[in-house]
Amino acid sequence: MEISSSFTGTRLKPFTTRVDARETMNYAAAINDNNPCYFDDRRSDGLLSHPLNPVAITWNILGKIWEFIEADDFPLDALLTQVRDHMRSEIGASEMKLPVKPLDIKLTVRNGTSPVWSRIRNHLATSPGRLRKHAHDFISKYIARLLEQQEGEVVFIFDSLEKLSGPDYEFLATMQSVVQVFTQHSGFLRLPNCHTVYTISPYASLVAANITALYDRAITRPLPAVKVSEKDGSAYAKGVSALRTLVGKRLPLEEAFADRLDLLDKLILSSGGHIRTLISMIREVLMANIDSPFPPTPELIDSVITFFSEDATQAVRPEGVLLLDSIRQTHSLKKIPSDQLALLARYVDHHLVLCYQNGGGWYEIHPLIREDIRIRAEEQRAEAGQ
């Protein structure tokens, strides 16, 4: 596609960004500038942003150029040139394949006043017909090209969308935006001539029960954790064994844990069968033990579990204690009041409420917080005279 030279010199609208604490700390650490003013968040004046901290504006603007360019007739199709050229080069290869990395789109939610899902929702609301036509025409064209080279079916998998949540003070707005995108724009998201899989945050089905009717074969329950404990808290041997096998696929157990697989089992039980939590805990153990002989000591395992437990416990607000305790006792979400759905959604999103499918669907709060929630719930009921 040719772009008229008349667009040369077109001015863009101003771009404003916000440097958050994590970003400036990462930069200072990367250049070995250990001045406490960049790290000590207990300072009365707060953290200072490093004066040399760079901010890249290219992708922030190009990703939504239509919001910055002051020209109504700018051809949006031209923005797809890079994608088109990449697809053309891959299709021209002797063997048809779509490498993951070049097509992998990664989004990071940063602290700010405009959640990423809110921006998606707002853009879809401004010109949904035009945007849908451009996107669907583009996808149809290249699916046809793909099928000319190789028979079969095309499947698009968008598998990181569930990670987009935002900070606590923006969670409700983000949640509402996610739900609105998937409920009000299902026609746009149902891509033509292919199968499309979206993995979205599990709270969608909690606050929008009708979402399953908008998509074919929609499954809107949380991805289940591996059952490692029974409802009464006793260990479930088959689940523990399955996760031992999984960990063994990622690292040599005989080197990492030697004859102390009981220590690995302790991590497995503490993870609640949530694989991402388990891998994070094992990584923490390995990093802490990197200069020491393996296997790790029981004291190290306990300290890692305590660290993750304290982190999880801090995420529970006082108003959420009785809600979580009711799930601990009933293993169900059926009687959750509607005014607590946003709070519940947050805990599901943070994996403090886990879903299991063994023996029928049921829920449990994460074992890292289970005892703390029981104690805090008893204290709250005692204070209320219940």
For 143, the 3-state DSSP assignment is helix
Query: In terms of pTM, does the model score above 0.75?
Result: no
Which pLDDT score, from 0 to 100, does residue 382 have? 92
**Confidence class for position 373, pLDDT limits 50, 70, 90:** very high
Question: Model confidence over 131-144: pLDDT tens digits?
Answer: 677 778 878 877 88
Between 86 and 185, the more confident residue is 185
Least trusted range by pLDDT, from 32-36, 108-112, 339-343? 108-112
Which has the closest alpha carbon to 212: 237, 245, 188, 179?
Answer: 179
Indicate if the pLDDT at residue 80 is higher than 90. Answer: no
Which pLDDT score, from 0 to 100, does residue 272 have? 95
Query: Is residue 156 within a helix (H) or strand (E), and if so which, with residue range?
Result: strand 155-158
**Confidence class for position 75, pLDDT limits 50, 70, 90:** low
Between 214 and 38, the more confident residue is 38
Euclidean distance between CA atoms 351 and 358, whole angstroms: 18
Indicate if the pLDDT at residue 284 is higher than 70. Answer: yes
Between 313 and 129, the more confident residue is 313
Provide the residue ranges of all domains of the chain, joining segments of one domain with +. Answer: 75-220, 237-313, 315-383
Q: What is the mean pLDDT of residues 209-213?
A: 71
Structure tokens at 199: 């993995």
**Confidence class for position 184, pLDDT limits 50, 70, 90:** confident
Largest CA distance in the chain: 76
Indicate if the pLDDT at residue 101 is higher than 70. Answer: no
Which has the closest alpha carbon to 98: 58, 152, 138?
Answer: 152
**Confidence class for position 72, pLDDT limits 50, 70, 90:** low
Which pLDDT score, from 0 to 100, does residue 65 have? 67
**Confidence class for position 88, pLDDT limits 50, 70, 90:** very low
Which of 64-78, 254-268, 282-296 ranks highest by mean pLDDT?
A: 254-268
Tracing tokens 């040399």 back to the chain, one arrives at: 52
Least trusted range by pLDDT, from 63-72, 282-291, 324-333? 63-72
Which pLDDT score, from 0 to 100, does residue 222 have? 64
Least trusted range by pLDDT, from 32-36, 88-92, 101-105? 101-105
Indicate if the pLDDT at residue 90 is higher than 50. Answer: no
Task: Please say whether the beta carbons of 54 and 42 come within 8 A.
Answer: no
Spell out a b/e string for 164-187, using b for 16 or more CB atoms within 10 Å of the CB, else e. Answer: bbbeeebbebbbbbbbbbbeebee
Share of the chain above pLDDT 90, in %: 25
Q: What is the mean pLDDT of residues 272-300?
A: 89
Euclidean distance between CA atoms 218 and 40, whole angstroms: 47
Question: Model confidence over 332-362: pLDDT tens digits?
Answer: 888 888 788 778 888 887 889 998 876 667 8
**Confidence class for position 9, pLDDT limits 50, 70, 90:** confident
Between 48 and 180, the more confident residue is 48
Return the bridge partners of 353, or none.
Answer: 365
**Confidence class for position 73, pLDDT limits 50, 70, 90:** low
Which pLDDT score, from 0 to 100, does residue 352 have? 92
